[in-house]
Amino acid sequence: ACSYVVPHTFSTIRPATDADVAVALLTNGGHAGDLYQALFRDLLAELCDLDMPQPLGPADHPPVVDVSSYAGTYEREGQRIELEDHDGTLVGRVITTGPLAEIVDHPVDEIELTAVTDSVFVTRVEDETTWTPLVFYALEDGSPYLHAGLRASPRGEDQPG
């Protein structure tokens, strides 16, 4: 549940209904995904005797995926993700846009995506331990989207599909 809308901003709630417990985390600082993994894993184990599943990360043997169809610019309010195919690997930038760009420490993060499946990838921002999943998909009308950090971004209309 990592969010890129404002780098380092993160919020989540995880209910454990069988134990009548809900744990919430609201942060406005660095390494939020790492904090979430460590804090929630310990709290849910202690309070509810629950084991959180391991977070998504790269496979030991990542699949070979033709990434050329995923290259392009995906944009929504406050963020643009520009991806390029570099010899079969998706690399690019996550760019904070609009008024938020003026107040964040790092409005541009360089990323490299690692395939988990043919449409699910992971990336990790510098100095983070936790991987962020990115999912490529199309709506019923064929419109391509990228789901990253729990937010959907459509691919620009001028991009090949």
pLDDT at 101: 87
Mean pLDDT throughout 27-32?
72
- As a whole number of angstroms, the distance between CA 130 and CA 65 comes to 23
- Beta strand residue intervals within the chain, DSSP E: 9-16, 21-28, 72-76, 79-86, 89-96, 108-112, 114-115, 120-123, 132-138, 144-148, 151-154
Instruction: Give yes or no for residue 94 having a pLDDT over 80.
Output: yes
**For the whole model, what pTM was predicted?**
0.76
Q: What is the pLDDT of residues 41-72, one digit of tens each?
A: 888 888 888 888 887 889 889 899 999 999 99
The residue type of 59 is A
Q: Say whether 116 sits in a helix, a strand or coil.
A: coil
Scan for tokens 């043919």, then name that residue.
118
Instruction: Give yes or no for residue 119 having a pLDDT over 90.
Output: yes
pLDDT at 4: 37
- The pLDDT mean for the chain works out to 84
Q: Which of 134, 140, 139, 141 is nearest to 119 (CA)?
A: 134
pLDDT at 9: 61
Q: Which of 67, 103, 110, 78 is nearest to 3 (CA)?
A: 78
